[in-house]
Structure 1
Amino acid sequence: MRKLNAPILAPLAVCILALSLAACNGSDTQSSVVTETTTDEGTTTDTSTDFVVEVDPFNFESDALISSITTQTCTLSNGDEASCYKIDIAGAPSNYEIGVFCPRNITSTADEAGIWFDGTGEVYDITGDFILNLPTLYNDNHWQLYDEGTGLVNVTDTQESCDGAARPNVEEQYQNHCVECSIDYVDGGISESFLIPITPVATTQNSSIGNTNVGVALNGVVLAAPAPVEAILGAYTIAAFDDCAGHINLVAGYHYHGEAGCSQTQIQSDGHAAMMGYALDGFGIFGMLNEDGLEPTDLDECRGHTDDTRGYHYHAADVSENMFIGCFKGATAR
């Protein structure tokens, strides 16, 4: 993997760019929203306060970025002009080595391969038994991902085969393959730039995720839209993920399609789920479960809720669901 040693933003520069001195003294910048309620007895002020917490550049892991974070004026999806951070990520995890993907033999164990999930609520270890059981799992006898004579699994183990299989229109000769690509094919990672509003702006109507990226992990990896499972299975392929729910193609490089815990780098002192990234609207994304193994019970359709420490924020879905969040609560940069 190529070494990416570009420095992150220096503390003084962050204080200047963050538009608030709160970032310099270790506290999150918050804006309060106080609502008024009309009753039979007149208008009263609601004592409940919602907090909007600004994006904190210091949350990103060392080596997750390839250049200093800067600020620039941007236009949001609701038409507002705002200040955004420009965040250039490395496109490879800064906190671990990318794991294995496809098994090599029908005798391979879970330690020798990655995982697969298709949005049905299950996460499968891609063992040799999993490869053998594919016709039963998907009720289709056309599945044959191995050589019956040798027991070897059909794997896209060259750049040419990766290119032919890791695409929506899988070339015929690479059907019935376990698909994997090497990070070396993309020179150790594909860097990408994101514009994220410094202060998230909640909108009156939620926005769908669609086929766009969801956000960026704090360890420098793209949080991608749901994997196109129907197209993958329709070509009799398994687009293997490593145990961190990431995989590689030649266009996007290494990216996540689910939250498997590897990107939860900001532990919360109050037992709340750890932070793992930012959505494109600037709201933080945290893990699904707190330190007691419990998921919040008050999440909205976007998988978000509010507390007095983190403001409005999201909780990632279970990795088996092939998604991170349900929708964008805030405006994104155009």
Structure 2
Amino acid sequence: MKKVITYSLPALTLILLVGCNDGVLTPTLETELSTDTGEVSNAAESNSYEVDSTKFDLGTSGSVTEVACTLSNGATSTCYQVTISGFPSDRTELGPFCPQTTSTTAENSGKWFDDGVLYDLTGEFIRNLDLFYGDSSWSLYNKDTGEVNITDTQTACEAAARPDVDAQYNNYCVQCEISYYSGSSGEGISSTYLIPTQPVPRSSIGSVDRGSVGVAFNGVTLDAAAPTEAILSAYTIAAFDDCVGHVNPFAGYHYHGANHGEGTCPAVAFEVDGHGGAFGYAMDGYAIHTMLNENGEEESDLDTCRGHTDDTRGYHYHSAGPGENLFIGCFAGETAQ
């Protein structure tokens, strides 16, 4: 039997202009960051490659412009102001998320993660949540009809998709539709972020806080960790799709993990040398690549922030696994205020 896994994670918040880490000491770039002190040594500033803004494909409603900005170390710099529409540019529809009944198969169901593992959120998985978590209070379905309890209105979505889940939506599969927040654009919640045009290494690592971690090339926010402790304590499941993304009233559609590989989305090609492909930029301007290379292997020299350096790409990150509820461990570069 499994027990409930709890995490000390922040609540989801609406971020309109992201990148501020005021008061956080900042890491000088290196291939190894100390896990004990958060300090770096043998700085490799020459490995700070410029952000390539042409990699962003943001659709007709998104934009990238260069603006003046102030970094978290107080220095004046230039940043890319990235405005996203709230809908991935490489898709026409989202989901599936919650299974409709206890007999719904993986093909028509979304995902859920627990203790680092990404699971198919099938009807059978819903039916056995009491065994999975070792708690008889779990019951997300009607035992007579087999229908799964799903938040199917905007009111229900907004009452359940928050850290303090409304008690009437305990034992629900939480699903919010992008149409609730589309407005005249037909898309989602528009957000704007600042990313330095040239990464600036820190002298000591910067924490990944409540704000967004980065922006994917397809215009989707790479969000901070989902508040799983609050979700599970209310006997709810905040369903994801195959891309480990979902919709909430604060950030619109956003990712909580990277599920890149055969049969998953979004598709990310390997680089010509077999290295994992990049799929977005972190808020400090360093690229985030897939977890695995062409041979299905993870890089062996990643630092505390999940970054390393090579001659082709300079310093860059590799995302954590799709079930780990994070992308990178910390910021190795200055972020924008």
Alpha-carbon distance between aligned partners in 1 of 2:62 and 2:149, rounded to the nearest angstrom: 39
1:151-176 per-residue CA deviation (whole Å, 9 max, x = no partner) reads 11100011111111111111111110
Q: Which residue of 2 aligns with 1:115?
A: 111
Q: Shift of residue 229 of structure 1?
A: 0.3
Q: Shift of residue 66 of structure 1?
A: 2.6
Q: Report if aligned partners of 1:264, 1:274 keep a CA contact under 8 Å in 2.
A: no
In structure 2, give the amino acid aligned to 1:223: L
- 1:164-179 aligned at under 5 Å gives the runs 164-179=159-174
Q: Shift of residue 121 of structure 1?
A: 1.8
1:247 matches 2:243:
no
Alpha-carbon distance between aligned partners in 1 of 2:191 and 2:267, rounded to the nearest angstrom: 20
Query: Could you say what secondary structure the match of 1:125 adopts?
Result: strand
RMSD: 1.8
1:195 matches 2:194:
yes
Alpha-carbon distance between aligned partners in 2 of 1:203 and 1:197, rounded to the nearest angstrom: 13
Alpha-carbon distance between aligned partners in 2 of 1:148 and 1:231, rounded to the nearest angstrom: 25
| Partner of residue 103 from structure 1, selected from 99, 105, 109 | 99
Q: Shift of residue 221 of structure 1?
A: 0.2
Residues 296, 89 of structure 1: alpha-carbon distance in 2 compared, 3 angstrom cutoff: same
Q: Which residue of 2 aligns with 1:73?
A: 68
In structure 2, give the amino acid aligned to 1:114: G
Alpha-carbon distance between aligned partners in 1 of 2:312 and 2:122, rounded to the nearest angstrom: 42
| Partner of residue 279 from structure 2, selected from 270, 276, 280 | 276
1:142 matches 2:137:
yes
Q: Report if aligned partners of 2:112, 2:238 keep a CA contact under 8 Å in 1.
A: yes
1:31-76 per-residue CA deviation (whole Å, 9 max, x = no partner) reads xx99xxxxxxxxxxx9x8842111111111251x634422111111
1:51-104 per-residue CA deviation (whole Å, 9 max, x = no partner) reads 2111111111251x6344221111111111111111111211111231210011
Q: Report if aligned partners of 2:49, 2:314 keep a CA contact under 8 Å in 1.
A: yes
Alpha-carbon distance between aligned partners in 2 of 1:67 and 1:228, rounded to the nearest angstrom: 28
Q: Shift of residue 330 of structure 1?
A: 0.4
1:133 matches 2:146:
no
Query: Could you say what secondary structure the match of 2:231 adopts?
Result: helix
Alpha-carbon distance between aligned partners in 1 of 2:49 and 2:267, rounded to the nearest angstrom: 18
Q: Which residue of 1 aligns with 2:177?
A: 182
1:306 matches 2:302:
no
- 1:1-334 aligned at under 5 Å gives the runs 50-61=46-57, 63=59, 66-96=61-91, 97-118=93-114, 120-187=115-182, 188-261=187-260, 262-263=265-266, 265=268, 267-334=270-337
In structure 2, give the amino acid aligned to 1:134: L
Q: Shift of residue 264 of structure 1?
A: 5.1
Query: RCO (CA 8 Å, sep 6+): is it higher in 1 or 2?
Result: 2
1:275-308 per-residue CA deviation (whole Å, 9 max, x = no partner) reads 1100000000000011111110000000000011
**Structure 2 residues without counterparts, runs of 5 or longer:** 1-28, 31-41
TM-score (norm 2): 0.82
Alpha-carbon distance between aligned partners in 1 of 2:101 and 2:156, rounded to the nearest angstrom: 18
Q: Report if aligned partners of 1:102, 1:113 keep a CA contact under 8 Å in 2.
A: yes
Query: Could you say what secondary structure the match of 1:321 adopts?
Result: coil
Alpha-carbon distance between aligned partners in 2 of 1:273 and 1:222, rounded to the nearest angstrom: 20
Alpha-carbon distance between aligned partners in 2 of 1:68 and 1:76, rounded to the nearest angstrom: 21
Query: Could you say what secondary structure the match of 1:53 adopts?
Result: coil
**Structure 1 residues without counterparts, runs of 5 or longer:** 1-32, 35-45
Alpha-carbon distance between aligned partners in 2 of 1:83 and 1:66, rounded to the nearest angstrom: 23
Q: Shift of residue 207 of structure 1?
A: 0.7
Aligned length, in residue pairs = 288
Q: Report if aligned partners of 1:219, 1:265 keep a CA contact under 8 Å in 2.
A: no
Q: Which residue of 1 aligns with 2:12?
A: none
Q: Give the percent of matched residue pairs that are identical in Structure 1 and Structure 2.
A: 53
Q: Shift of residue 263 of structure 1?
A: 3.8
Q: Report if aligned partners of 1:263, 1:277 keep a CA contact under 8 Å in 2.
A: no
Alpha-carbon distance between aligned partners in 2 of 1:323 and 1:49, rounded to the nearest angstrom: 26
1:229-266 per-residue CA deviation (whole Å, 9 max, x = no partner) reads 00000000000000110000111100000001234546
Residues 142, 78 of structure 1: alpha-carbon distance in 2 compared, 3 angstrom cutoff: same
Alpha-carbon distance between aligned partners in 1 of 2:62 and 2:45, rounded to the nearest angstrom: 36
In structure 2, give the amino acid aligned to 1:158: T
In structure 2, give the amino acid aligned to 1:294: E
